[in-house]
Chains A and B, each alone.
Chain A
Amino acid sequence: MIPYIIPSEGTNDLGHDSDLSLRGNGSQPVVRVKNLNVFAGEHHILKNINLEIPRNKITVLLGPSGCGKTTLLKCMNKLTDLYKELKVSGSIYIDDDDILNAQGYIPEIRQRMGLLSQRPFPLPMSIFRNVSYGIKLKGISDKKLIAHNVEKYLREVGLWEEVKDRLNQPATSLSIGQQQRLCLARGLAVKPHIILADEPTSALDPISSKIIENLFKELKKNYTIILVTHVLRQAVRLADNVVFMYYGEIIEQGPPERLFNEPATEKLKEYIYEGN
C-alpha cells in the first residue's frame, strides 16, 4: 500500500507522491501482461496477450468494437472477478505484483490504479463522500486530512469551484461531464500511479472532453495512463505509445508517429482509413 503522508504542522499540502519513485526504477514498465487468455465459454476473447506499459506515458488502446479492449482493462485490475462466466489465465504484473494470482491483497493492488469508465458511475452518496470513500478505505480517519484531500483532488480536476457549496448533495445531481471529473477525482484520491480510462470522453460534450484530455496531459507527469478510445484524433493528440488490437489479439504496437503514418498491417491501415 502506498502510505499516506500526514502533513506536518504548517504544511497543508501533501505534495505529489514522491514515494512513487521508490517503486522500481523509472524506465521499468509499470504493467506487464504475460500470456493473458480470456475465455467466455467457447469464445476466446483475449488471445495470448503480451504487453508492456511504459511509465509516465499515455498508452492508447485502439481497435474495432468488440476486440477486447474493455476486457483487457478489466483484467488489469481484476474486475473480471465480477463476471463468473469469464475464465482468465496468465499473469499481469502491476509493479512487481501479479494481480491475477495475488492472494488476499487484491484491493490494495487495485488502489494503485484509478478507473475511469465509459459512463460515469458516481457512488450512491454525496459529492464529498464519493471522493472520501477511497481515502477512508485506505484506513485514513482523520477528518481534517480527509477534507483537505477531498478539496485537493476536486481542485485537481477543476471541479472545486463548481461544487464547493454543494458538497453534501448527491453526486447524481451533477451533470454528466461533472460526474466524470468527480469519478476521476475520487480515483486520484486513493493515490494510484496508474490510470485506466475506458473511452472516458465518449459520453461527454466537446468541452468536457477537452477538459478531461487536458487533465490527462497534465496528469501524465505523475501517472501512467492507459486510455481506450475510438476517437483517432484524440489518440493522435494524446498518445505516446499505441497498441492496436484486433479480435482479441495485439496486431501492432509502437510510437504513434510510426503507427499512424506508416502502419505495417492492412488491418491498421483500414482502421485508420475508416477513422478518417
Chain B
Amino acid sequence: MSVQTMSLSGRKKEVSNKKMSFWESLYLVAIVKGLWITIGHLFTRKVTVKYPEEVRTRSAVWRGQHMLKRDEQGRENCTACGLCALSCPAEAITMTAAERKPDEKHLYREEKYASVYEINMLRCIFCGLCEEACPKDAIYLTESKVLVPASYEREDFIFGKDKLVMPLEMALANSKNKN
C-alpha cells in the first residue's frame, strides 16, 4: 500500500468531480438517506444532564476545591516555601511568609508559615500540580463536589486562608480516627 492510497480510518474517499446524472441532481435519494439517519436520532437516548436537578457523576480521581492541611495536632503544615506557587501553571497562588513566634508553636508546624495564602479561583485550572509540588503535604485538592460559586465581584474569587485552611474540628476528628 502506498502512502497516497493509505487510509488510517478506513473511511478515506476519493473526491470526484464527475457530472451528476439527472436523478442525482434532484438530490431526492440523498435526501431520503439523510432523513433516515436523522429520524434514528429521534429515538436515541438524550445526552443532556438536567443540571440543577441532576448532577453528573464525577470520576474517582476528581480534583475539587483545595484545602490547606493541618496535622494531627491541628497545626498548619504549610511552610510558605512557595513551591506550589512556582509549579502552578496558571500562576494562581500568592503567599506572604512570616516567622513563627514561640507562643504560636501549637498553630504552625514549621518555623516559617504563610501568614497570607491566596488562590485566585478565576485563574486556577484545578490541575493539581500544587498538590504534587508540595514537600510538606500541606495543600491538596479535595473530593468536594461543590463548584466555585458565582459572584459579581472579582475579589470574591480570591480564596484566602479563611476559606482554604482545613477546619480545626476536622483535623481533630481525623486524628481521633487514626488513633
Q: Do A and B bind each other?
A: no
B interface residues, Cβ below 8 angstroms from A: none
